[in-house]
Chain A
Amino acid sequence: MKPVIAYVNQFFGQIGGEDKADYAPELRTGAAGPAQALQAQLKDAEITHTIICGDNFMASHTEQALEQIAGFLKELDCALLAAGPAFNAGRYGFSCGEVCKLAWERFHIPALTSMNEGNPGVELYRKSAYILKGHDTAAGMRKDVAAMAALANKLLAGEPLLGADAEGYFGRGIRKEVILKDHRSAADRAVDMLLHKLRGEPFQTEFLVEQEDRVPPLPPVDPSKLRIAFVTTSGLVPAGNPDHLPSGGSTFWARYEIGNRETLEKGEFISVHGGYNTGYAAENPMVLLPLDALKQHVRDGHIGSLHPYYYVLTGNQTAKGDAVRMAREIVAKVREDAVQAIILGST
């Protein structure tokens, strides 16, 4: 039996919800949470331990969390590490990615996980781990775990992999020399591809050149001369949520007036975000929108002027396309009021 170690967050480890997201890493014997379903599908392998860690603990104390987990791994036999599945949960994707990267880079333990394509963890960690293409919510748990088990069995058995697309994981940027079954040379294949292209027929490139989608930084600007707007992905809305902003998967943004206010008081504003503990915001909404600080910086001459509205959406599980569209819409809207720079606060 080959030993496998699983990693799950506080929620799937059945420690608790957002209120337990600060839970420090724990090593538990056997398979916990989704790892039990994974165990049932593994051949000749046993999940000997499950590491459980709160997502906020990992995000806010990354180094400390990883050191503790490295301490666990050092003492254990491990042929494979399986994390998640993390779906489209941003913090969980980050946690799974960090743990996979640790296992692979420090201990040379192959690591696999599963994430939805919208999870920012995919781009951050796909070179350090096998990240299977997963569903966006836990409703897809059964299929995601089955896919993880299939790849885990292959890796553990030492079977050759057929490449990222065929195996269903995100490309790791590794080039591998293979001999094709039909022995057709590159020249023949290139001419074929060209003929397909000329005839307007579908064809598939054999090597996708990756393009980094980076935006070069803009030159510095002096905020004391500018009109500034504040945007937040925290789901901060007036009490009662008049525009029915959703708790996740925003497809629209809202804006609320702050021009005549100096502070945001408890009870006046709340967060409807479904992806973090909103108790702090309920206690003092300025933990999300530091309005008194912004106004003070205006008075102190550090900000030219403050646009009289803040813009808000709910950042979790928002699709990439929607995020891009909403960013463009917000920029267009604040430009009507001659805004020249934006501060964006995320959670």
Chain B
Amino acid sequence: MMVKEIEKSGMPVVHMANMTPVAQGIGSNRIVKTYGISFPMFDPNATPEAQKQQRYELVGRALKALNTPVQESTVFE
């Protein structure tokens, strides 16, 4: 709901979320699927080095989503 409102105001926005059907249902247009509800940005079972790499790549995906044309609600896996 917040994401939709932010986009409505003319501010480009990307939604990093785990429950992507919900994110799509509430009207987010650019969605990046995260690792988990309680651990969105990396897998807590990975090594610290791998975790660092995971969050860097996930943010990279969010940046790519901002720069990708979409016609409708789209999940960037």
Q: Is the CB of A324 within 8 A of B55?
A: no
Q: Is the CB of A297 within 8 A of B63?
A: yes
Q: Which of A18, A214, A339 gathers the greatest number of chain B CB atoms within 10 Å? A: A214
Taking the complex as formed, is A120 at the interface, i.e. its CB lies under 8 A from any CB of chain B? yes
Q: In the complex, which residues of chain B have a beta carbon less than 8 angstroms from the beta carbon of A328?
A: 5, 9
**Complex: chain A residue closest to B1, CB-CB:** A323
Q: Is the CB of A218 within 8 A of B44?
A: no
Q: Mark A289-328, 1 if CB is under 8 A from B, else 0.
A: 1101110110000110000000000000000100110111
Q: Is the CB of B9 within 8 A of A303?
A: no
**Complex: chain B residue closest to A346, CB-CB:** B17
Q: Is the CB of A287 within 8 A of B7?
A: no
Q: In the complex, which residues of chain A have a beta carbon less than 8 angstroms from the beta carbon of B13?
A: 341-344
Taking the complex as formed, is B68 at the interface, i.e. its CB lies under 8 A from any CB of chain A? yes
Given contacts A124-B22, A343-B62, contact A215 B15 (CB under 8 A): no
Q: Is the CB of A123 within 8 A of B66?
A: no
Q: In the complex, which residues of chain A have a beta carbon less than 8 angstroms from the beta carbon of B71?
A: 217
Q: In the complex, which residues of chain A have a beta carbon less than 8 angstroms from the beta carbon of B34?
A: 345
Q: Is the CB of A346 within 8 A of B9?
A: no
**Complex Cα–Cα for A224 and B30 (A):** 18
Partner pick for A217 among B1, B16, B29, CB 8 A cutoff: B29
Q: Is the CB of B66 within 8 A of A221?
A: yes
Q: In the complex, which residues of chain B have a beta carbon less than 8 angstroms from the beta carbon of A153?
A: none
Taking the complex as formed, is A254 at the interface, i.e. its CB lies under 8 A from any CB of chain B? no
Q: Which residues of chain B in 10-36 are interfacial with respect to chain A, using CB atoms and an 8 Å cutoff?
A: 10-19, 21-23, 25-27, 29-30, 34, 36
Q: In the complex, which residues of chain A have a beta carbon less than 8 angstroms from the beta carbon of B63?
A: 223-224, 297, 302-303
A297 CB to closest chain B CB (Å) equals 6
Q: Is the CB of B72 within 8 A of A331?
A: no
Q: In the complex, which residues of chain B have a beta carbon less than 8 angstroms from the beta carbon of A21?
A: 37-38
Q: Is the CB of A276 within 8 A of B37?
A: yes
Q: Is the CB of A221 within 8 A of B40?
A: no
Q: Is the CB of A220 within 8 A of B68?
A: yes
**Complex Cα–Cα for A149 and B5 (A):** 37
Q: Mark A271-301, 1 if CB is under 8 A from B, else 0.
A: 0000011111101101111101110110000
B residues with CB within 8 A of A = 1-19, 21-23, 25-27, 29-30, 34, 36-42, 44, 51-52, 55-56, 58-60, 62-63, 66-74
A and B contact pairs by CB, cutoff 8 A, 7 listed: A56-B37, A62-B21, A124-B21, A215-B29, A221-B67, A344-B13, A345-B34
Using A220-B68, A290-B56, A302-B63 as known contacts, list a sample of 19 further A-B pairs with CB atoms less than 8 Å apart, ordered by residue number in A: A60-B37, A120-B22, A123-B25, A124-B25, A214-B27, A216-B29, A219-B69, A276-B37, A287-B41, A287-B42, A290-B42, A292-B52, A293-B58, A328-B5, A330-B2, A331-B6, A341-B66, A343-B59, A347-B40
